[in-house]
Amino acid sequence: MTQKIYLNGKLVPREEARISVFDHGLLYGDGVFEGIRAYDGRVFRLSQHLDRLYDSARAIALKIPMSKKEMEQAVIQTLRSNGLKSGYVRLVVTRGEGDLGLDPNNCGKPVVFIIADKIELYPEELYKKGLELVTVATKRNIPEAIDPRIKSLNYLNNILAKIEAGLQNMSEAVMLNKDGYVAECTGDNIFIVEENVLITPPFYVGVLAGITRQAVMELAREKLDLVVKEKVFTRFSLYNADECFLTGTAAEVIPVVKIDGRKIAEGKPGKVTARLIKEFRDLTKREGTKI
């Protein structure tokens, strides 16, 4: 089957899905996006993803030329046209074609495109054995400059951290904020468990408002009866945590067993993490917008 891409209201073959070299999304990273998952015929928390997309667009004064309902139908249509009941959706809105100047007022109509495909960020083996992380020198953007809650097309901050991790043969990195507090990883939110309390950094240190992050916090309270706190912490807390894991749309919930060469507790996935992996996977089977 030829892959179909949604582009400005039409489904076109992959090789015909083209945008202008003058598009400000390409020239300046001027746009917003969402990564969305579909599981067994249901799109997981589609409305929350669309809320975040439109909030991000509003924050950069980008008017999306479609209603949320129209966008929802476009996502479903793209999945259907590619015969996907389970998969990954990349939804992108750019400022549109402009000139070589920065002024967004010189851009025409925003461009909307949607890609639906399969994805496997990490092999299943790592969900059983756990990830090893390294802290990198690249600091997370400060919210006063570029608020990380804006899911923009400019991911250079994250990419630089990813490059640093790769140079140390690591697949993922811990990013600190300017004050030395743990913020997040290059593409995922981070959690630790301390004495049956689940802790994750608050937004103001520079983290994305993750959809999976929110789902896991809800599950921890409702299914595991855990206390959940959003508070700042340093690498000292990472090294001395009982458990650590990451969350993200592509990664879902994945354990971390070593950071900067230090084992987390016994160096294997913990019971809380294992339970949350199961609860989250169960949640994706029963919650979502039907394709």
CB 65 within 8 A of CB 108: no
CA distance 61 to 29: 14
Instruction: Note whether 27 and 86 are within 8 A (CB).
Output: no
SS3 content of the chain, % helix, strand, coil (to 5): 30, 30, 40
| Structure token digits, residue 158 | 């994250």
The residues, ordered by sequence, that sit 6+ positions from 2 with a Cβ below 8 Å of its Cβ are: 13, 14
Catalytic residue among 63, 109, 129, 151: 151
| Residue with the two structure tokens 């109509």 | 109
Amino acid type, 283? L
Q: Residue type for 277, please?
A: I
What Rg value do the Cα atoms of the chain yield, rounded? 19
The sheet with strand 10-13 has its strands ordered as: 10-13, 4-7, 111-117, 87-94, 31-39, 42-43, 289-290
Residues 163 and 172: their CA atoms lie apart, in Å, by: 9
Residue 166: Cβ within 10 Å count:
12
Could you say which DSSP state residue 23 is in? B
129 is catalytic: no
Number of neighbouring beta carbons within 10 Å of residue 2: 10
Which residues are catalytically annotated?
Answer: 151
